[in-house]
Structure 1
Amino acid sequence: MLINPRNLLLILCLACTGYAVAQKPLVLQGKVIDKFSRQPLEGVTVSIPEENTGTYTNELGEFQISATEKTHRFKVAFIGYRDTTVIIPAHNLTPFAISLSPSYKSLDEVLVISSKDDPTEKVNNVQMGVDRISMEEAKLLPAILGEVDILKVLQLKPGVKSGGEGTAGFFVRGGSNDQNLILVEHAPVYNPSHLFGFFSVFNSDAINKVTLIKGGFPARYGGRLSSVVDIRMKEGNMQSYHGEGSIGLIASRLTLEGPIVKDKTAFIVSGRRTYIDLITRPIMQSQNDGNSTQGYYFYDLNAKVNHKFSDKDRLYVSGYFGRDRAYFNNDYQYDEDTYRTEESGIAWGNATAVARWNHMFSQKTFSNLTATFTDYTFSIFSNFKDEQETLPDTYFGFQYYSGISDWSLKYDFDYIPSPKHYIKYGAGITYHTFRPGASEFESDDPDFEIPPISVGASNIYATEVDLYAENDHEITDLLKVNYGLHLSGFFVGESFYYGIQPRISARYLLSPDLSLKASFSTMTQYIHLLTNSGIGLPTDLWVPATDSVPPQRAWQPAIGVAYSFKKEYEVSVEGYYKKMNDIIEYLDGANYLVDGLEGWEEKVESGEGWAYGAEFFVQKKYGQLSGWVGYTLSWSNRRFPTINLGETFPYKYDRRHDFEVACIYKLNDRIEFSGTWVYTSGQPITLPVAKYEGQFGEPLYAYEGRNGYRMMAYHRLDLNVAFHKEKKHWSRTWNIGAYNAYSRLNPYFIYLEYDYRTNTNQYVQVSLFPIIPNISYEFKF
């Protein structure tokens, strides 16, 4: 039977039309918001399970997703909110909104130890070396003296090492403390520690979420070699007023949020203060006849306001201010005719201010114009005043201060031409002021008169510019790649440095539950940290690259696999190698507190470092028992032309093995148990092999190599039990726990001492913290 040519042509046209329709998916657009506060939710997982496709919401809570032309069942999931399923009719091309309700903990709900409820988040995400943490996660774990510390939670992740008790900062994949870019609402924070490293400066009640990036850096980040910690504050509730707080053994905090203009303007303000000084002050006064006081305290204040001009324009203004102060005051009779008042102490702190304008040009393009200011200041002060009966009063004062401040302007764009591409690009400029250390003296004593003078290093000014572009490209259903380029320049004095930093990350799905990942990134850092000690004192100084000290540079390849099974467990393995160039170290015997900072370039030496290792991570995300186990096997070494005779030596925080265990067991709606255990190999240390007396009886030491010995291993168990009670309009939680539950005396430092009983030199270990009990009361209303 012959087919009519006209019919054949009609069949071919229909076939081609059908093919075209089948190959052209719909692009569905939507927005996810909090049901009660009406604030957009960033990072929400939006998926269509039957089509094995998914995406995440952006900063505006918006998403785009490809789908075939039929009715779809969307699954929407986000930590702290109930999972929601939304049915979207076929042929729906109108942007739609999805409201999520906060979840209230119960046995039949998912208890998540991740930033997202998506059990395959690590599998599908193109980025590797990334940990996302919300405060709901952090608050489930044991707190130190009632204070939830987000940096301590990060140190429970593979690849992140603590410097030890009493040591500020953290160390990522063999890098140093200054190589971590810590951002709070886009503003860098230069010293993230309170109480000599025991607490961080971040108030948990003010934080919404935290993202840690250890490798495979997106092109939008720059300025540091080893990690990015991106901290975002809560937005404030636009519908109603709420508050929460905590009363602990040494500190209390209070947070309030609510609408200024309903559905238009919201605020959040959060404060925290210790009261160690309020407790110790009367005790010290009673022991010294009321003549002397000494103490320590810190405080934080976070505030944020956001205003919605329209659906296309929002303004965010936020700020942080925090201070630490340790002081000693003494009033006494100096001699028969003189009464003396003495004041001395140490103080340091951070301040940030951020203004961000968010504008939507279209459903596919939006921008953020951000202005930031950040300042870090450290000072030591000492002064006394003599009040005399027969002579004029006299005064002597001394102050040493240092710090760094930045003014920055950034313009960032997000462009989504299709669900297969997510393009980000932008530019920024930062003006740095380095205050590397100066001293002020003043005295009006007739026998020792000193007019107000300032001596020390002068301020150094520098300008840093950067430009970037990146594309999150879904090449096929199996292969997704993020590639980009970060360009930067640094002007200081008569010198100019630049960095060309390509970045690429790729994910290939071997199955819906298994992916293979790889990444390569190059980083440039134009500032250095002069580290005087590792004991947590904030005396470290930030200095720029100069004519004789070039910027730090690094490159890092990584490869890994991510696997999710039974929709409940998540497993990842990553291996990395990091090469660092032009890192600096003090020459043997150099010390800026003793020698002064003038000519500091002659007291340091540029060298190289390399770190490599493997990270293993297993996480159980659902059920009454949840938590994770992490393990890191790593090496980190340094080499300098003259230090240690030019021989390679282990980095100070090189630790071969690191184990981290975190567990949460929910007995019922009212009682939760949690615990963490950490184990790390001994820290390298430089110890003298002999001690003897010099010509004038002073102690002298003989050394053999840098970091040639290791201290004992560090391990610690922290426990907590939480008792919850919820009513209609308020809730409370009692936390009872212990830091270092089995009172392990972990090494802090070791020194050589002569033992007169045995007539030999002995090594003596000093430890800081035995078991520390904790009780705190938390409330919400």
Structure 2
Amino acid sequence: MSFSSWLQVPVDKRSVRFLVGLFFLLLPFTGLGQKFTISGYVRDAKTGENLIGVAILNAVTGEGTATNAYGFYSLTLPKDSVKLMASYVGYERTLFTTYLRQDVQQNLLLTPATTALREVEIINTKEEDARESTRMSTITMSVAQIKAVPALFGEVDVLKALQLLPGVQSGGEGTSGLYVRGGGPDQNLILLDGVPVYNASHLFGFFSVFNAEALNNVELVKGGFPARYGGRLSSVLDISMKEGNMNEVDGEGSIGLIASRLTVGAPLKKDVASFIFSGRRTYIDLLARPFMNKEDGIGGYYFYDLNGKLNWKVSPKDRLYLSAYTGYDEFYSSYARSSGDAEESRAGLGWGNFTTAFRWNRIMNQRLFLNTHLTFTKYQFDISNEEQSTYQGQTYDYKLKYLSNIRDLSAKLDFDYIPNPSHYIRFGGQYVHHQFQPGALQVRDNNGGAAEDLNVNTQKTTAQEVGLYLEDDLRLSERVKVNVGVRANGFAVNKEFYSSVEPRASVRFIANEKLSLKASYANMTQFIHLLTNSGIGLPTDLWVPSTDKIKPQRSHQLALGATRALAQNRLELSLEGYYKTMHNLIEYKEGASFIGISNSWDTKVTTGKGWAYGLELFLHKKTGRTNGWIGYTLAWSNRRFPELNQGATFPYRYDRRHDVELVVIHQLKPNLTLSGTWVYGTGNAITLPEARYMVGEAWEGGYGGTQTYNDYGARNGYRMAAYHRADLSLSHTKKKRWGEVVNNLSFYNAYNRKNPYFIYVQAGKKEGDPSKFKQISLFPVLPSISKTFKF
């Protein structure tokens, strides 16, 4: 068709409206009118650390942006005077003024605030606060504020601080696990420098693996997930490590009752390359060893963490990072007797993580930023038992080892494209090679003769996972801003292939200068599962893939919320409601566990569904000598499995109707800080026996020939007593010529509440006496002291 003929074709009015609308939608990309871009990094003026989430505002036009996860910002503005204001919690505001007549690359340096008070200001004190952002159900916590919260045994813990937020629950007394909006611990994507951490707990969950001194930024996403995140149903915990001081040697350490830690950062070449190294170890085993009687055997427990990171400014546009983490827990015992017939035995239980990441950041141009990420992660636990004895000159040898692990090797590309202040576009893709070994049992038995070796379930399963995403944070008007995106995933295991397309959307509407309304929807898919032995209390949970028998977990979450500023913006009140459905959840069948060699794991489980809904209230004070927050959650979480509980719906083990958190941090003096927390929660659901009966015939004169059985009631049909406690902490800072020393005194469970840890059945003392339920409590009031130093 010729051009002249094309002009004579009738034009439909709807087509015209569509083309006009498309034109105005794409208008911001066209660059009509003279516009230029100012971009660069925002860094700590003292250490050279890149700062994440710094608000950048042009005071002339009111347009702004924020630094990304790598400290980069980009702002495209008309040719005119520019007055940039950079604002970040704990730092003095920085101003930069210029006349924008060409593209400019300008790095900004922020100076840490001089007063101690600013260091404990808390969540979302950025210029673009919670009312402005499209993101909801997202909370950023400063490391300084995490350190200000009272801690068990004086050990600062990231996960315990997050448990003080609405919608986030702990698994039980003292534990560091996270149960977010009715989900399980496997449904949390925990990232350390972008690398998944599959087990984030030490000492059976009482401490987390994250050393606070080595961390730069902590962000928790509970809903409204941006498309760049995938692979889990309930939350994303994104933790970034520090990069190391670019200008001078600095460090921080602590000596506590059960552990000590040290962090050191220094330049390898000033303003070009730096490193940071951090280590922590418990010494309970070393302190107890002198008091042990070797004739009765020796045993102990310890854990350690090691973090390291290198970063190198290759050029003004290129930067390389190499980071690693390793941590391990070990329980061990040994016994030896050499007099007479020799006997020796050793037993151990160990688990740990190893992660490493190589990252390349490049500024492709003033508006396009690239991050390339290569990562490896491994989690493994193992149980071992060795026995050797000599009897009448004959040697008897028995060895058993059980291990389980998961390994991931991943490559990822992330692009940030910021064409103008009204659009922030992110897109990219990821490939993950999974390797699973859910359980391998190795047995060697030499019973005085030829050795017999048995290897069971040693087969490894590999899987390939790919993901592509596109999202746009788009300002439609002064009042309306949206974040829309989509994520496409594929998962290949054996001969099975699963795929999913996950739309994501969130919208923010400014009702007035103090009130904003928000809504979000997220479709999530999780291709891996965690088999949990809830009654064992050991780190023996198994990570397993979806198979031809076990489908991927899927969820839909809808959330509605409102945020309002109070008391001249000194207080912020947010209210959120959510509803979440979950499909293809797995649980062990009745009586099954990870122990056993006859069947593979997928024959021991059953699948079902769950749903969770609730309301979260969050009131927090951000500034002043006294700050903190109050959180309240009203929630329900239920499960239904056709093969469990006779197919009837039952509450999830961590279904908690009411959850209250109160956190107060008060600056008594510039060098003296008092903090306290109080928590209350409905008791955990529990399954209890309702009757006991005996089967079999009694032997003459006794009951040795009978077997006693418990008749259990409905699954999770009972509740433990409500949980509540108060913690207190007093910190005194003393300046030294070389730095400062912080002395801390804290009290865990200050009013000695006897909270339930578990409940068991105690038989009657005499024949015919009724059995009773007995409660075991774990921690009474626990005072602790610690000394922290900085240089």
Q: TM-score range by the shorter chain?
A: over 0.9
Structure 1, 411-420 or 663-672: larger mean CA deviation:
411-420
Whether the aligned pair in 2 keeps the contact of 1:658 and 1:678 (CA below 8 Å) is: yes
1:740 alignment partner in structure 2: 749
1:342 equivalent in structure 2: 345
Partner residue of 1:579?
A: 581
Classify 1:763/1:136 alpha carbon distance in 2 versus 1 (closer, same or farther; 3 Å). Answer: same
* Correspondence for 1:432: 434
What CA distance in whole angstroms lies between the structure 2 residues aligned with 1:421 and 1:21?
13
Equivalent position to 2:292, from 284, 289, 296:
284
- Letter of the 1:764 partner, please give it: K
CA distance in 2, matches of 1:152, 1:166: 8
Deviation, structure 1 residue 358: 1.1
Equivalent residue number for residue 237 of structure 2: 229
Contact 1:465 1:490 in 2 (8 A): yes
Residue 10 of structure 2 aligns with which residue?
none
What code does the residue aligned with 1:577 have?
Y
Once residues 106 and 186 of structure 1 are traced to their aligned partners in structure 2, the CA distance between those partners, rounded to angstroms, is 31
**CA deviations over 1:237-260 (Å, ceiling 9, x no partner):** 111111110000000000111111
3-state secondary structure, aligned to 1:145 = helix
User: Retained in 2: the 8 A contact 1:618–1:628?
Assistant: yes
Match of 2:6 in 1: none
Q: Could you tell me which residue of structure 2 aligns to residue 84 of structure 1? A: 94
Please give the alpha-carbon distance, in whole angstroms, between the structure 2 residues aligned to 1:513 and 1:742: 39
Return 390-399 or 212-221, whichever deviates more: 390-399
- 2:116 and 2:258 map into 1 onto residues whose CA distance is 31
Q: 2: CA distance between counterparts of 1:535 and 1:245?
A: 35
Q: 2:411 aligns with which of 402, 409, 412?
A: 409
Q: Distance in 2 between matches of 1:450 and 1:433?
A: 31
> Is 2:152–2:174's contact at 8 Å kept on the other side of the alignment?
no
Moved more, 467-476 or 584-593: 584-593
Q: Are the aligned partners of 1:36 and 1:101 in contact in 2 as well (CA < 8 Å)? A: yes
Tell me the residue number matched to 2:564. Answer: 563
Shift of 1:73: 4.3
Which sections of structure 2, spanning at least 5 residues, go unmatched? 1-29, 697-704
Alignment CA distance shift 1:599-1:367 (3 Å):
same
* Residue equivalent to 1:297: 302
The corresponding residue for 1:751 is: 760
Write the distance in 2 (CA, Å) between the matches of 1:28 and 1:534: 57
- In the aligned structure 2, how far is the partner of 1:694 from the partner of 1:119? 71
Q: Choose 582-591 or 461-470, whichever is displaced more.
A: 582-591
Residues 779 and 387 of structure 1: is their aligned pair in 2 closer, same or farther, counting only changes over 3 Å? farther
Q: Name the residue aligned to 1:323.
A: 328
Change (3 A) 1:597 1:56: farther
Q: Aligned in 2, Cα 1:30/1:87: closer, same or farther, shift over 3 Å?
A: same
C-alpha distance 706-94 of structure 1, shift in aligned 2 (>3 A): same
Residue among 35, 38, 47 paired with 1:37? 47
* Cα pair 1:162 1:169 within 8 Å, conserved: yes
Q: Counterpart in 1 of 2:146?
A: 138
* Residue of structure 2 aligned with 1:591, choices 586, 590, 593: 593
Give the aligned partner of residue 468 of structure 1: 469
Q: Which residue of 1 aligns with 2:455?
A: 454
Q: Is the 8 A contact 2:55 2:128 kept in 1?
A: no
Aligned with 2:108 (options 86, 94, 98): 98
Find the counterpart in structure 1 of residue 387 from structure 2: 384
Whole-Å Cα distance in 2 between the matches of residues 326 and 319 of structure 1? 24
User: 2:359, 2:41 → 1: CA distance?
Assistant: 21
Shift of 1:601: 2.2
Q: Classify the secondary structure of the residue corresponding to 1:777.
A: strand
Q: Give the counterpart letter for 2:716 in structure 1.
A: N
Report the counterpart of residue 9 of structure 2 in structure 1: none
CA drift of 1:47 comes to 2.3
Provide the C-alpha distance between the structure 2 equivalents of 1:319 and 1:777, rounded to a whole number of angstroms.
27
Match of 1:353 in 2: 356
1:42 CA displacement: 2.0
| Gap change, CA 1:372 and 1:26, over 3 Å in 2 | closer
Match of 1:655 in 2: 656
Report sequence identity in percent.
Answer: 46
Q: Where does residue 71 of structure 2 map in the other structure?
A: 61
Structure 1 residue 519: Cα displacement: 0.4
| Whole-angstrom CA distance in 2 between matches of 1:130 and 1:483 | 16
1:84 partner letter: T
- RMSD over aligned Cα, in angstroms? 2.2
For 1:245 and 1:537, the matched residues in 2 are separated by: 30
CA distance, structure 1, for counterparts of residue 734 and residue 460 of structure 2: 55
Matched position secondary structure for 1:123:
coil
| Structure 2: distance between partners of 1:317 and 1:90 | 36
Aligned to 2:215: 207
Q: Aligned-pair distance for 1:445?
A: 4.5
Q: Contact 2:402–2:439 (CA<8 Å) still a contact in 1?
A: yes
The Cα shift of 1:716 comes to: 1.2
Rate the CA distance shift 1:412–1:64 in 2: closer, same or farther, 3 A: closer
Separation (CA, whole Å) in 2 of partners of 1:535 and 1:666: 43
Q: CA deviation at 1:762?
A: 1.1
760, 784, 790: which one aligns with 1:774:
784
1:188 matched to 2:196? The reply is yes
Instruction: Check conservation: 2:119, 2:145, Cα contact below 8 A.
Output: no
Cα deviation for residue 544 of structure 1 reads 0.8
Bigger shift: 44-53 or 170-179?
A: 44-53
**For residues 311-347 of structure 1, what are the alpha-carbon distances to aligned partners after superposition, in whole Å with 9 as ceiling and x for unaligned?**
11111101001000011111124x72x2222110100
Could you tell me whether the CA contact under 8 Å between 1:120 and 1:567 is conserved in 2? no
SS in 1 for 2:148: coil
Where do 1:505-584 residues align within 5 Å?
Answer: 505-534=506-535, 536-565=537-566, 566-584=568-586
AA in 2 matched with 1:615: E
Q: Counterparts of 1:263 and 1:28 in 2: how far apart (Å)?
A: 22
Distance 1:435 1:21, change over 3 A: closer
Alignment coverage as a number of residue pairs: 752
Structure 1 contact 551–582 (Cα < 8 Å) conserved: yes
Hey, what's the Cα distance between the residues in 2 that align with 1:754 and 1:284? 34
Contact 2:90/2:119 (8 A) holds in 1: no
What is the match of residue 605 of structure 1? 606
- CA distance in 2: counterparts of 1:265 and 1:90, whole angstroms: 31
Partner amino acid for 2:451? I
The residue that corresponds to 1:3 in the other structure is none
- Aligned residue for 1:262? 270
Shift of the alpha carbon at 1:48? 4.1
Q: 1:50 to 1:357 in 2, by over 3 A?
A: closer
Q: Distance in 1 between matches of 2:194 and 2:104?
A: 33
1:167·1:536 contact (CA, 8 Å) conserved in 2? no
The amino acid that maps onto 1:231 is: I
Q: Go from structure 1 to structure 2 and tell me whether the alpha carbon gap of 1:409 and 1:31 turns closer, same or farther (over 3 Å shift).
A: closer
Q: 1:57: how far off?
A: 1.1
Match of 2:150, SS state, is coil
CA deviation after TM superposition for structure 1 residue 699, in Å: 2.4
Question: Hey, what's the Cα distance between the residues in 2 that align with 1:396 and 1:272?
Answer: 35
The answer to whether 1:485 aligns with 2:493 is: no
**In the alignment, what sits opposite 2:319?**
314
Cα distance in 2 between the residues matched to 1:392 and 1:450 = 13
Contact 2:423/2:472, CA 8 A, preserved across alignment: yes
The residue correspondences of 1:660-675 to structure 2 (distance < 5 A) are 660-675=661-676
Task: Report the Cα offset of residue 21 of structure 1.
Answer: 13
Question: What is the rounded CA distance, in whole Å, between the counterparts of 1:106 and 1:433 in structure 2?
Answer: 47
* Structure 1 counterpart SS, 2:669: coil
Secondary structure (helix, strand or coil) at the match of 1:361 reads strand
1:701-723: CA deviations, max 9, x gaps?
Answer: 11221111111000111110001
- Of 719, 730, 734, 2:728 maps to 719
Distance 1:83 1:708 in 2: 55
Alignment of 1:168-187 (within 5 A): 169-187=177-195
**1:302/1:225 Cα in 2 relative to 1: closer, same or farther (>3 Å)?**
same
- The separation in 2 between residues aligned to 1:715 and 1:92, in whole angstroms, is 60
Give me the TM-score of the superposition, normalised by structure 1. Answer: 0.93
Give, in whole Å, the separation in 1 of the partners of 2:642 and 2:737.
67
2:615, 2:554 → 1: CA distance? 22
Taking the aligned partners of 1:88 and 1:768, their CA distance within structure 2 comes to 62
Local SS of the residue matching 1:277: helix
Q: Distance in 2 between matches of 1:110 and 1:459?
A: 49
- Aligned-pair distance for 1:138? 0.3
Deviation of the 1:75 alpha carbon? 3.1
Q: Aligned-pair distance for 1:87?
A: 3.9
